[in-house]
């Protein structure tokens, strides 16, 4: 799977559940698909569009959850 619109997120438990819901909402809003890959360093959230990825990054920042581009 392509990884150009992915963010590596450092969250667990309820924070991760919250982010899954936000990712789903943002993907639906932007009419793109999204998926999650568990990796050794965290969780990779990938979107089919850059606009959804950027909105998700902003959501992470607003919630105080650390993330970075893969």
For the chain, list the domains and their CATH numbers.
6-69 (3.30.70)
Q: What angle do CA 22, 58, 40 make, to 5 degrees?
A: 70
Q: How many CB atoms within 10 Å of residue 32?
A: 16
CB 45 within 8 A of CB 22: no
Average pLDDT taken over every residue of the chain: 93
For residues 28 and 6, the answer to whether their CB atoms sit within 8 Å is no
Q: What is the pTM of this model?
A: 0.90
Half-sphere exposure in the Cβ direction for 40 (13 Å, CA): 0
Mean of pLDDT values over 15-36: 96
pLDDT tier at 4, thresholds 50, 70, 90 = confident
Q: Residue 15's CB: how many other CB atoms inside 10 A?
A: 15
């Amino acid at each position: 799977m392509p990884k150009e619109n992915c963010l590596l997120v450092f969250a667990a438990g309820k924070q991760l559940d919250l982010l899954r819901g936000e990712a789903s909402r943002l993907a639906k809003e932007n009419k793109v698909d999204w998926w999650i890959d568990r990796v050794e360093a965290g969780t990779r959230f990938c979107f089919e569009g850059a606009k959804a990825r950027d909105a998700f990054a902003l959501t992470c920042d607003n919630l105080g959850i650390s993330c970075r581009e893969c």
